[in-house]
Amino acid sequence: MSRGRTCGIDSTRVVASPTFPVPTPCIAPDGSTLVTSPPIEYAFAATYGRSGLRRLCRALAACEGVIATPQAEPAMHGRTMRWALTGQFSPEFLAARYVAAMRESRTSTGAAVRADLSPVFAKWYGGHVLSQLGEERCLVIRVWRDPVTVIASIAGLGLVPGTPLGTLWLGDPRWERCRLRLEPADRLEAVAWHVVETIIRSEEIERSFPRARVARLDFDVLCDADLLAAWLRHAGFRPGDGYEQAVSPAQDLARHEPSGLRSIDRGGVRSAWRRVVDLAAGQGLLPSSLAESLLRDPTEVDRGRRLGA
């Protein structure tokens, strides 16, 4: 099979690879039909937020046999996040509570796939969730959006890790169980930490769970209804009759940026991003090749391949 990409998908990674097969029967780029076993039962997102997750949630919910939520209970943010990263409770215990709720939800609704698109799945205890559910039955969707834009968008909302509101949603870079611990020089560096920490943990999950299915989705593909529909089909989902309404421009939250975004210094964002990526690479938390690609101008590279796709 060729190494060509279709609608933002690396066909060798998502469709053709024996390690990362598509979750259900699917037509591959070369026209062959692939059948995988066991089928996908759970789907999660590994990303940092402000990357179109609510749109993706609506799209998945409009697919046949899928129940999708933007944040299942018990939620991974707030007190649960603090418990996980300050050592008050073990990540295994917290994951067990979440896994029990996901299983009950899937069973009680009769859904073929239960999807939860929490933006902090990878950052906190997603690995324990995959282990307890059975990694071979789980799909992890790695959504990519230019980090500089994401950092500016999060900062524009006033969500700064380490502050009361920011800690509720994103955590604190000083917590002992963070992979990358730092004392942020400013709010932009604190938000950049959130993005880098998420990427570090997403990479860890992908390395540690080779039988999990991993699919990569570029934000530009996510924002195009036709490309997204094609991506969903290649990932093994079947968009239903309500798909077009679910992803119509009137429903599209991805295009609404916070009013505070205009006040964010993009040059300052880029500087903060570079400092935190360099720090993570210097500590061996990011491979040098990945760090270099993360620091390239997004207009100069194929963003869909930036995380190793």
Any bridge partners for residue 296, and if so which? none
Residue 260 pLDDT level (bands cut at 50, 70, 90): low
* 34 pLDDT higher than 90: no
Rg (CA), the chain: 18
Query: What is d(CA 147, CA 270) in angstroms, rounded to the nearest whole number?
Result: 9
Highest mean pLDDT out of 18-22, 40-44, 69-73: 40-44
Arithmetic mean of pLDDT, 143-165: 91
pLDDT band, residue 308 (cuts 50/70/90):
very low
Q: What is the pLDDT of residues 277-303, one digit of tens each?
A: 999 999 999 999 999 999 986 543 333
Instruction: Give the ranges where the chain is alpha helix by DSSP (H).
Output: 11, 53-61, 79-86, 91-109, 126-133, 147-156, 164-170, 187-208, 219-222, 225-234, 243-246, 266-282, 288-294
Select the more confidently predicted residue: 46 or 309. 46
Q: What pLDDT was estimated at residue 170?
A: 87
CB atoms under 10 Å from CB of 165, counted, come to: 12
pLDDT, tens digit, 9 for 90 and up, residues 90-144: 778 888 888 999 999 999 999 999 999 988 888 877 899 999 999 999 999 999 9
Which pLDDT does position 82 carry in this prediction? Answer: 66
Closest CA to 149 of 61, 56, 52: 52
Query: What pLDDT was estimated at residue 112?
Result: 95
Q: What percent of the chain has pLDDT over 70?
A: 74
**How high is the pLDDT of residue 238?**
94
Token code pair at residue 108: 């009680």
The CA distance from 307 to 301, in Å, is 11
Q: Are strands 113-116 and 66-69 parallel, antiparallel or unpaired?
A: parallel
Stretch 243-270: mean pLDDT: 72
Average pLDDT over residues 10-29: 33
The pLDDT value given to residue 4: 31
Task: Give me the pLDDT at residue 70, please.
Answer: 87
3-state secondary structure of 290: helix
Please report how the helices 225-234 and 53-61 are oriented relative to each other, as an axis angle in degrees rounded to 10: 60
Task: Kindly report, residue by residue over 211-235, the tens digit of the pLDDT.
Answer: 999 999 999 999 999 999 999 998 8
With a cut of 50, say whether residue 14 has pLDDT above it: no
Counting residues of the chain whose pLDDT is more than 90, the rounded percentage is 54
The confidence score (pLDDT) of residue 257 equals: 60
| Structural domains in the chain, sorted by start | 5-305 (3.40.50)
Mean residue pLDDT across the chain: 80
Residue 9 scores a pLDDT above 80: no
What is the pLDDT confidence band of residue 33, given thresholds at 50, 70 and 90? very low
Q: For position 27, what pLDDT does the model report?
A: 37
Identify the band that residue 176 occupies on the pLDDT scale cut at 50, 70 and 90.
confident
User: SS3 for 114?
Assistant: strand
Quick: pLDDT tens for 66-94: 999 988 776 666 666 666 666 666 778 88
pLDDT at 100: 92
